[in-house]
Structure 1
Amino acid sequence: MEIPKNKKIYFASDNHLGAPTDEASKPREKKFVRWLDNIKEDAAAIFLLGDLFDFWFEYKHVVPKGFVRTLGKLAEISDSGIPIYFFVGNHDLWMNNYFEKELNIPVYHQPKEFTFNNKVFLIGHGDGLGPGDKGYKRMKKVFIHPFSKWLYRWLHPDIGVPLAKHLSVKNKLISGDEDAKFLGEDKEWLAVYAKRKLTQKHYDYFVFGHRHLPMEINVGKNASYFNLGDWINYYTYGVFDGEKFEVKTFD
């Protein structure tokens, strides 16, 4: 993709809408919608890198209620012709085809390569990548297995959704404090993952979420790993203007 003159590509991750409660997350949701309104004027494309919701599950005829401001704004932007791409995170990994059917937003379950103005990007949420975290990787295989989703679907939404929200809020990562501490360039597992990928192919930019901590790490010759931070504590986002990538803060 060649980015048109005076246009930019935007990236955001880790909103965790609905956490710790629907009411408590509403101010953050309204701020995120303001950001979407702000960037739609010069956006060539928008990438949402997962954990938009703190919990999401698509029953055959039901999705979790709420988040109408976000969904409505995404529909408006998509209908205007601005492409939006969604990568599932570990909190909304049970997303299926609702976004694709209702909003015309493609949904990706694995990192994907994109090229903009001859710059090669590898983009994804970031969970389960790199060394370590073997317990989570095993659990993820269980969660995404079709049989697990089939079993969960038999829970009535009035039981299944509150239960999942309760368990999700217990995850310390949504608080953005204890778990979101910089580990050092040689220990940040997504930076390690990026360095390994560079042994197979050159990428100019690795862009991920999940860590809730905005950062930039040089991972090789003319190659950088960026983490987008979150919309809980930092309200940070990524922007590529066709020449350089930056992480900025939305006030």
Structure 2
Amino acid sequence: MKTKIYFASDQHLGAPTHEASFPREQLFVSWLDTIKHDAEAIFLLGDLFDFWFEYQTVVPKGFVRVLGKLAEIRDSGIPIYFFVGNHDLWMNDYFEKELNIPVYRDNKEFTFYNKTFLIGHGDGKGPGDLGYKRMKKVFVHPFSKWLYRWLHPDIGVKLAQYLSVKNKLISGEADVKYLGEDKEWLVHYCKRKLQTKHYDYFVFGHRHLPMSLAVGTNATYINLGDWVSYFTYGVFDGEKFDLETFKK
């Protein structure tokens, strides 16, 4: 009986190179193979790729194993939900048309087993990080995407991969260490959301740091960590939410 909801984020496939990330892709595909037997639904919370840009007729080369596994799982009837991250925010409709996987560009509410979830990648939420927030507005503007499409893919992809690794303003990534609850901006965001509506779980990625923190009465903020250093994922069994580490 399929009763578990799975969550994963920040695989960053392709970083720092396709060759270096290939073992991570293999490991992630193994995880997908493991969970497909009892998964009621699978949530991917962004930055599956370190860079992704869809031209009208071209998508980035590679990642065939993970894309094939997602297609297999989705074709079997298991729902998969994808939230764009700051590294793959230029995703268009490839996942929806080719894989039948809905793509979300902002937080979305879900209810499972009478528990309410607010789910998203987590970038640009809460106070601070103003430089990245301004940069993101430029990136997601239709005119910016239209201009970028004029770059030949061999140039556009290599340029974006370089900037993704080198420029932290573009990536929007903070230091990967616990800053203390008063400085964790997603904690502030969750507490502010609770002022208007109750959620049992806030589930985000982006921080690359697995954590589970109480943010209110019967309300928990969960960050999924990543598949670069931690290989962590979330699983909700209908009663409790656990952060676990995948070891093949």
- TM category, shorter: over 0.9
* Alignment partner, residue 164 of structure 2: 168
TM-score with structure 2 setting the length: 0.97
5 Å-filtered alignment, 1:1-251, equals 7-171=3-167, 179-251=175-247
The alignment partner of 1:186 has SS state of helix
CA RMSD after TM alignment: 1.4
Contact conserved, 2:2 with 2:40, CA < 8 A, in 1? no
Question: How far apart are the structure 2 equivalents of 1:208 and 1:246?
Answer: 14
Q: Is the 8 A contact 1:54 1:91 kept in 2?
A: yes
- Report deviation, 1:178: 7.5
Identical columns (%): 80
Gapped regions of structure 2 (runs ≥ 5): none
Normalization by structure 1: what TM-score? 0.95
Paired AA for residue 41 in structure 2? A
- CA offsets, 1:131-166, max 9 Å, x none? 000111011000000000000000000110001001
Question: Helix, strand or coil: the match of 1:17?
Answer: coil
How far is the alpha carbon of 1:171 from its aligned partner? 4.2
SS class of match (2:181): coil
Instruction: Check conservation: 1:172, 1:179, Cα contact below 8 A.
Output: no
Question: Aligned with 1:62: secondary structure?
Answer: coil
Structure 2 CA distance for aligned equivalents of residues 77 and 206 of structure 1: 25
Q: Distance in 1 between matches of 2:157 and 2:163?
A: 10
For 1:167, the aligned partner's letter is L
Residues 80-131 of structure 1, C-alpha deviations (whole Å, 9 max, x = no match): 0000000000000000100000000000000000000110000000000000
Confirm or deny: 8 A CA contact 2:2 2:39 kept in the other structure.
Answer: no
Which secondary structure does the structure 2 equivalent of 1:132 belong to?
coil
Contact 1:185 1:191 in 2 (8 A): yes
CA distance in 1, matches of 2:110, 2:147: 35
The Cα of 1:18 is off from its aligned counterpart by: 0.2
Structure 1 residues 128 and 178: alpha-carbon distance in aligned structure 2, compared to 1, 3 A threshold: closer
Contact 1:207 1:228 (C-alpha < 8 Å) held by counterparts: yes
Number of residue equivalences: 245
| Distance in structure 2 (CA, Å) of the matches to 1:76 and 1:225 | 31
Q: Is the 8 A contact 2:174 2:207 kept in 1?
A: no
| Residues 201-232 of structure 1 deviation map (CA, whole Å, 9 limit, x = unaligned) | 00000000000000011000000000000000
Q: Which amino acid aligns with 1:10?
A: Y
Displacement, 1:172?
A: 5.4
1:37, 1:170 → 2: CA distance? Answer: 33
Q: Is the 8 A contact 1:239 1:246 kept in 2?
A: yes
CA contact (8 A) 1:229 1:236 kept: yes
Alpha-carbon displacement from aligned partner over 1:40-91 (angstroms, at most 9, x marks no partner): 0000000000000000000000000100000000000000000000000000
Q: Distance in 2 between matches of 1:111 and 1:178?
A: 20
CA-CA distance at 1:6 after TM superposition = 5.2
Q: Secondary structure at the match of 1:211?
A: coil
